[in-house]
Structure 1
Amino acid sequence: MPNRRTSTRRPAQPVPRPLLTEIRTDRAAGVLLAAAAGDALGVHYEGKGTMRPDQQPKMLGGGYGPYRPGEYSDDTQMQWCIADVAASGADLRTPNALDAIANNFLIWLRDGATDVGVQTRTVLGMAKRAHAESDDPLHQVMARQAAAQYKRTGLGAGNGALMRTGIVALSYLDTDPRAMASAARAVSDLTHGDPLSAEACILWCSGIRTAVLDGTFDGVRAGLTLLPANRRAQWAAWLDEAENRPPHTFASKNGFVVVALQAAWAAITQTPVPAADPASGSFVGQHLQLALENAVRIGHDTDTVAAIAGALLGARWGGSAVPLNWQRLIHGWPSQDASDLVGLAVLTVNKGRDDSKGWPRVERMPHPQIGGQPFAVLHPDDPGLIIGNLAQTTVAGPAPIDAVVSLCRVGSGPILTQTGVEHIRVWLVDRAGANADTAFVVDQAARIVQQLRQEGKRVFLHCVAGRSRTPAVAARYSCLLSGKSPADALADVHTALEWWRLDHNRDMFEAVYRLAGHRPPSPTRTGRSRPSRFDQHTLLDW
């Protein structure tokens, strides 16, 4: 053995951790998704007073739109204008990128804008007229008009830039945060000339960047170092105020960017993070929902405050923490739904590139060999629920399906050839340690299946192969439906699938036990097949 003092062998170098782990990608996906969720949750209550703690905000639509339930407003519409450019991989500081964003703003104002802020509408209108008489790039003209409006009126510190800028952080995860700060300032300056607006955007983008990378909210205060030195103490005091005053005290003037940021920060920091206790239905990721509800309860500019809060909460807890009953409703201009928003965020962090299989833009994910031949069987406790694999979704047949719950990536196109099928995508990765909270997502998926069945819908539940995610969620559904023990529920589901291996993915199956308050059994090394107690008619002629 070499002497430690004289050995010339170089010490082993640690394997660098990939920047975009599955959990970080989930967090990135949460930025747009949770912002849209907060926006859609808040539209019904915009302009109204503070709500009591016992009043429960819901996605009711209405408001100044009026909006349909789950439809987001100008907050997310304008963020889409930026995300559309960010998802191409562009550096948002460049003239071409800023021109594209500015042009998207004008298209939005012409074609899809709802409930537009006074400051934004004024500047965009001025920019459109001035650009018609100028040879300068649109983004320069627009920023000049915003600066001139601020100089003339003293107005330019509304919350209309902060509400839309969260996506900027995702373009700069792997670079010096000063590049992100520069981009945030440039995007803010397009419509808001007051430096306060840009400073708020920088702080919030710093918070989002750190939340995605490190899973904390520390980046908001860390962002103070990105501000001019003579501005840091004032913003630190404003953050202190938000952390120590009741959230409802930020209701009356939260159209002002400083108060809007304080309201969002108060809702986040003063909402306790729930304990991790799956058996009692308590999960840390529920902080996202609870804090968004508290942001709405503050009152006044509820959709914007909740959209601002949502971008940071999604970055911390992930898209998988956005309740599925919210995700199924989320939609808005220009014809975007929850999966579209996730795709834009993922493309942004991947510099405009799909992965090796074409996701997220590919219309249909390729079916891997491990997925096996198409199959579908009836759930052992509910004939209105069919469980199977991804390949089965490509098989046309006479069986009517009302809703599909996908536990794997499936692509951007329709899930089935028949029309009118509701499709709910669940972020659940089939690899140990790859999910922020496996038990939470398994429980969410089982409960959305239960909700769909209560609505009378015939549901197809699947993952790629139907061996890990599908049986785990199907077993949890059995526990919810009939009160079965996790052992019995898993046994019946695996028997129906003719697959008996509780440790195929320990994370999934341990989640079923922990959700029921049971101790998971010791792992086994081998699986064993077991004759199906269902006859051949159980294999469905899809």
Structure 2
Amino acid sequence: MRLSTIQKDRALGAIIASAAGDALGAPYEFQAPLPTDADVVLRPGGPWELGEWTDDTAMAVPILRALAEGRRLDEEATLDALVAEWAGWRRGAKDVGVQIGRVLGTIRSLTAADARRAARILHEQTGRSAGNGTLMRTAPVALAFLDEQPGTEDRLAAAARAISDLTHFDPEAGDACVLWSLAIRHAILTGELDLRGQLARIPADRRDVWAGRIDDAERRMPWDFPKNGWVVQALQAAWSAIVHADTLEQRLVLAVRCGNDTDTVAAIAGALAGAVHGVTALPFRWRRHLHGWAGEGRVGTHLDLQQWAVLAMGRGRADAKGWPSAARFPVGVDQTLLRHPLDEGVWLGDLAALDHLPAGVDAVVSLCRVGTEQVRVPASEHHLVWIVDQDGANADVDGVLTDAADAVATFREEGCTVLVHCFEARSRTSAVAAAYAVRHLGAAPSGALEAVSGALPNYGPERFLVDAVRRLTPAGGAR
């Protein structure tokens, strides 16, 4: 199945919004619920750095990377590899859930079979093993099953349960992963939230119980489920946050307000809410600092998550032009590079401009595909905007333009000199340069467009982008 650009946007959202929820909730973990007038902000806290993801995303990364490498989740060898990666991560991790730590700490052969055995023994010893540690990592599973061939949903349900079973013997943990993974797939493909519609793929004798739990979550607020270390209440708190808010940002904040296992509930909520809203609905201020354990002794960033997610959707294969894993993309013959007509601290250019950055440029806003080695600034100073230069191909063109313009303003407020570029400095660069002038430089839309048109030799924004610029309003902090 060929995914639309909007569906790809939503698939990226499932991954990156989950990591953002994780990092957003990390400094609030194991605290009382937050009152509605208390700010929820991305910040460091406890052992976690600013934007650092925790065990929730760390355990999802090997699943995502396996898909990015073209491996199948219904093969035992892939499950063996997941167990081995998790065991290696556990040895140096800042934090590991009690149940997962006990399971991974007792296996000897680092195989899926040994992990399932350890999970069963722990359940028999304690009588309980339905922690939330499987639901927190299930977001990538859906990306392997986005086709519409007969039986795809059944194969997704089986894969979600099999990965859950590696560390959690209790079938309720598997049920939760099946429901959430299927709902993520449905959201990516349709843009709709539908948790109840997935009940048919859990055992018949447990469907009514889960239906009642979903009903309960919709009647109550996230903080009404204080035992959210239990997979059932973690799902209920996440679903409550989703149904009681409207935007992706609001849903993640409401999830963090639940208290106790805040990072996990927000990661769970982010996976499904991100699959509805898409990555373009995730504010740059949350996305830019994302980082954490990525396997193989390295730290990953939001750009890595995006690359792996795109490869996962392609079943491990880059497209004909090498996206997203090519080191470089070819540039045009001519080069455009000039200052923004209303702010000398902003440069406007094309893809070739990346090879000729003026001295002092220390932040980049990319509006087209770039190679992994083509942008030479840190990931936190690089905003790779998911915007398509085609009418109807963007989930929320107004929101994307606003976020890109605000990213430029954020960099400028931090003292950075910024390059804004697309492939040929024609349409997208023109639109974002004008959007920045409207929102942050006090220009009227017509004046902003006129100023940019007089500066850019290839000026030619698509009509839908011009219309979006004309709809913009100044930001509250316009200067």
Cα contact 2:361–2:417 (8 A) shared by 1:
yes
1:491/1:500 contact within 8 Å kept? no
The question of whether the paired residues in 2 share the 8 Å contact of 1:75 and 1:163 is answered with yes
Between the aligned partners of 2:397 and 2:209, the Cα distance in structure 1 is: 41
Q: What are structure 2's unaligned runs of at least 5 residues?
A: 475-479
Aligned to 1:12: none
Mapped to 2, the partners of 1:208 and 1:168 lie a distance apart of 9
Matched, 1:474 2:433: yes
- Would you say the 8 A contact 1:34–1:307 is kept in 2? yes
| Cα root mean square deviation, aligned | 1.6
Residues 390/61 of structure 1: CA separation in 2 closer, same or farther (3 Å cut): same
Q: TM-score, normalization: structure 2?
A: 0.95
Q: Specify the code of the residue in structure 2 equivalent to 1:61.
A: P
Change (3 A) 1:55 1:110: same
Among candidates 505, 511, 524, match of residue 468 of structure 2: 511
After TM superposition, give the deviation of residue 423 of structure 1 in Å: 1.7
The percentage of counterpart residues that share the same residue type is 46
Corresponding residue number in structure 2 for 1:443: 402
CA distance in structure 2 between the partners assigned to 1:309 and 1:246 by the alignment: 13
Question: Per-residue deviation at 1:62?
Answer: 1.4
Residue 360 of structure 2 corresponds to residue 400 of structure 1:
yes
**In the alignment, what sits opposite 2:116?**
143
Partner of 1:535: none
Preserved contact between residue 248 and residue 299 of structure 1 (Cα < 8 Å)? yes
Shift of 1:154: 1.1
SS in 2 for 1:336: strand
Quote the offset at 1:366 in angstroms: 2.4
Partner Cα distance (1:223, 1:19) in 2: 23
Question: Relative to 1, partners in 2 of residues 1:223 and 1:404: Cα closer, same or farther, differing over 3 Å?
Answer: same
Structure 1 residue identity aligned to 2:279 = G
Cα 1:375–1:492, aligned 2, differ >3 Å: closer, same or farther?
Answer: same
Structure 1 position 100, deviation (Å):
1.1
Residues 1:85 and 2:66 aligned together: yes
Alignment of 1:385 with 2:346, yes or no, is yes
Alignment TM-score, normalising by the size of structure 1: 0.84
Q: Which secondary structure does the structure 1 equivalent of 2:257 belong to?
A: helix
Counterpart of 2:392 (choices 429, 433, 437) is 433
Give the deviation of 1:158 after TM superposition.
0.4
Pair 1:215 & 2:168 matched: no
**1:245 aligns with one of 216, 220, 227:** 220
Matched-pair contact (CA < 8 Å) for 1:31–1:345: no
Quick one: which of 22, 25, 29 aligns to 1:42?
Answer: 25
Alpha-carbon contact 1:81-1:101 (below 8 Å) kept: yes
Answer whether contact 1:29 1:343 (CA < 8 A) is retained: no
Q: 2:169 aligns to what?
A: 193
In structure 2, which of residues 243, 253, 257 is the aligned counterpart of residue 269 of structure 1? 243
Partner of 2:157: 181
Q: Deviations over 1:470-511 (max 9, x none)?
A: 11111111112332211110010011003454xx41221111
Q: CA deviation at 1:290?
A: 0.6
Instruction: Work out whether residues 256 and 262 of structure 2, in 8 Å CA contact, stay in contact via their aligned partners in 1.
Output: yes
**How far, CA to CA, are the matches of 1:289 and 1:366 in structure 2?**
36
Tell me the amino acid that sits aligned with residue 448 of structure 2: A
Specify the SS of the correspondent of 1:298. coil
Cα gap change, 1:52 to 1:419, in 2 (>3 Å): closer
Within a 5 Å distance, the mapping from 1:350-369 to structure 2 comes to 350-367=314-331, 369=332
Please state whether the residue corresponding to 1:402 is helix, strand or coil.
strand
Q: Give, in whole Å, the separation in 1 of the partners of 2:388 and 2:459.
A: 21
Alignment match, 1:202: 178
Give distance in 2, aligned partners of 1:154 and 1:380.
68
What pairs up with 1:20-59 in 2 under 5 angstroms? 20-59=3-42
Query: 2:477 — aligned with what?
Result: none
CA separation of 1:84 and 1:494: change in aligned 2, threshold 3 A: same
Q: Could you tell me how far 1:419 is from its partner in structure 2?
A: 7.8
Q: Using the alignment, how far apart are the partners of 1:356 and 1:228 within structure 2?
A: 42
Between the aligned partners of 1:366 and 1:320, the Cα distance in structure 2 is 25
- Partner Cα distance (1:355, 1:499) in 2: 28
CA distance in 2, matches of 1:233, 1:114: 39
Query: Which of 340, 347, 350 is matched with 2:304 structurally?
Result: 340
Deviating more after overlay: 301-310 vs 316-325: 316-325
1:106 aligns with 2:106: no
| 1:349 and 2:330 aligned | no
Q: Tell me which structure has the larger Cα radius of gyration.
A: 1
Matched, 1:300 2:283: no
1:89–1:171 contact (8 Å) kept in structure 2:
no
Aligned length, in residue pairs? 467
Change (3 A) 1:231 1:421: closer
Q: Is the 8 A contact 2:425 2:458 kept in 1?
A: no
| Segment of structure 1 superposing worse, 22-31 or 492-501 | 492-501
1:348 deviates by 1.1
- The residue number in structure 1 matching 2:142 is 169
Give the distance between the partners of 1:246 and 1:458, measured in 2 at CA: 44
SS class of match (2:361) = coil
**In 1, Cα distance between equivalents of 2:374 and 2:301:** 13
